[in-house]
A and B are shown apart, each in its own frame.
Chain A
């Protein structure tokens, strides 16, 4: 099966780990398409998302490691098994491409006509979305077997942003869903979903999120294998919501509620350690 990986940045560890994992399983992508690192729109988006301080420190860490003689560090330690090969660590998607022998292209917009032309040249059966733009219909219709996404929450209960945090606050078990992307936000048919068994071992929300990403990439490999064998069928989402609100989409969580989600994680951990 010809699988193309879409990425939000050349430096995205999630995309690097996804491509590396798939290649390690024998599914070497015909190509990967990433948003450019120095694209103005993307930089502005990151600046707005992270704020100036986090933005500059992240850029410094990625572009100018403090000590060049040292090996590059991995932001998400749970991805190390995918990012470390033959004693070296992949710093970006191009290094993964060079190692496994697949091309990496960059673009300003994954929906643009040039991006679509590039994707057509790769003739993908399946596209894995590991980050980037909101995908439009022409791109979604391009691969023969659709575009799939790793969502860090159980669908259909938790759609949208900050899924791990919302899962904790709304008492939905943390987990991941591998699903097709359609025109809505996390509304496509579900291929597989898994509760994450070790959620309550996590010390922080960041750790939970990082572990979920690694868990999702691991499960993605299994699902892709099953898709190849035609051993998995997509299940359309039925939003059996309780009537408290028109849908199950969640949005960016306010910091105060993130604090409560953190407490929830700690309380659940304590309950687990002291069951009575």
Chain B
């Protein structure tokens, strides 16, 4: 079983620790190894403190092992399930609502070894739009109230500069570019739903801080960026800025968003690969590849930039072909989508489903809709319908659950992206029913 320190941005222990590490010249591989061991023992210690979790752990690992052994893949087949999308959507939203703390924060994950983590501002922020989408689609007051509580909690964390802290809720947290951008998604949506001027002010303060911190070439680096380096997956930040520019009608934020879009697009390769994910010490998890694509696509749509949509289309098509041929996407890829790692990163798969569905909306090409429906089928099968709190309705980091990305954890951002994919699927299916002729006419 692998306990790699996959401390990508979504890992709560990630930002503060890695920031400190990147600042320290003394931090070498021996420090990394010690840190891995510490983490391993901390996780195992969690199980010793709560031995009742051993039952759930055994059950989940066995289920995952049996399923991955029995899975058959063939060119003419794809994974199917009798579970309908609404049932799974309700399960994932319930997982999120049950996980939310009294103060409004949402934990990063439920570990089969250590239980729930502390609240995680970044994920809490970008779960807000998902909760509102669900609330609107199903007239669900509980989800709307949860989104409101999350927003209030986030605003209470905002720093005087307008930035938001990275990592888990802690006193010594540093300002983080990426996490501020992700939280901005939630603030914008909360303002749109409530019309609350305080929320808009908080969002503009965050947006202004992001614009101030931007480098001349459109990227973000420096101590507030992960590993103090620029990354192309910060396209998620430019998407948030473009959204805010539309809501607040400010050209300077839109210019900042476009500057980053241009910088990100300069990293797209002719074969569809994107350079500049640049996470030293980590593989290019599908989660981050999908972040680049999703942020670029949405930012390009908001900025009416066809070149951005076309660049994303090329990459998304490469991944579509891989999924259609192999019936899954690898958990991580090397340059040019080569040497894919054998585990599946479920969050990345759900994000790809969102990207394909949006590409169907933008291009009218039904093949994107088709592949997203098949991807959603595959994901729906892997969501536990039963199990204790933290398990039922959860989206595991990897499949099998011991895969390299967030092993033995059900992660809140996985639930968020799967819920997004299923909500988008629902909306597009409804639009087919409402306007069947138009939908067919625009196809391909």
A interface residue numbers (CB < 8 A to B) = 44-45, 47-49, 161, 166, 169-171, 242, 244-246, 249-257, 260, 263-264, 267
Contact = CB atoms under 8 A, between A and B. Distances in A.
A244 B366 CA distance: 10
Contacts of B314: 246
A252 B444 contact: no
Given A48-B73, A170-B443, A245-B363, 10 more contacts: A48-B72, A48-B76, A169-B440, A249-B321, A250-B367, A252-B77, A252-B324, A254-B374, A254-B377, A255-B80
Interface string B350-379: 000000000000011111011101100100
Interface string B224-249: 00000000000000000000000000
Contacts of A161: 76
B417 to A, nearest CB: 20
12 contacts: A45-B74, A45-B76, A170-B366, A245-B313, A245-B365, A246-B317, A252-B324, A252-B374, A257-B373, A260-B436, A267-B436, A267-B437
B432 interface: yes
A252 B321 CA distance: 12
A257 B371 CA distance: 11
B78 A244 contact: no
Contacts of A166: 366
Contacts of B440: 169-171, 260, 264
B366 A257 contact: yes
A166 B314 CA distance: 21
A249 B440 CA distance: 18
A169 B78 CA distance: 20
Contact of A170 (B74, B317, B444): B444
Given A48-B74, A251-B367, A245 B317 contact: yes
A29 to B, nearest CB: 27
Contacts of A49: 74, 76-77
B87 to A, nearest CB: 16
A157 to B, nearest CB: 9
Given A171-B443, A254-B373, A263 B366 contact: no
Contacts of B443: 169-171
Interface string B126-153: 0000000000000000000000000000
Interface string B66-87: 0000001111111010000000
Considering the complex of A and B, which 3 residue pairs feature the smallest CB-CB distances, nearest first?
A48-B74, A254-B373, A49-B76
Contacts of B367: 245, 250-251
A263 B436 CA distance: 9
A264 B366 CA distance: 14
Contacts of A252: 75-78, 324, 374
B429 interface: yes
Nearest to B314: A246
Interface in B293-326: 313-314, 317, 321, 324
A80 to B, nearest CB: 26
Contact of A251 (B313, B324, B365, B444): B324
Interface in B167-186: none
A49 B327 CA distance: 13
Contacts of A253: 370
B371 A251 contact: yes
Given A252-B78, A253-B370, A254-B374, A260 B363 contact: no
B363 A244 contact: yes
Contacts of A244: 363-365, 444
B441 interface: yes
B77, B441, B444: residue with the most chain A Cβ atoms closer than 10 Å? B444
A161 B373 CA distance: 16
Contacts of B369: 257
A170 B441 CA distance: 7
A171 B366 CA distance: 12
Contact of A254 (B75, B370, B432): B370
B49 to A, nearest CB: 44
Nearest to A258: B370
Interface string B400-444: 000000000000000000000000000001001000110011011
Nearest to A263: B436
A169 B76 contact: no
Contact of A44 (B72, B363, B366): B72
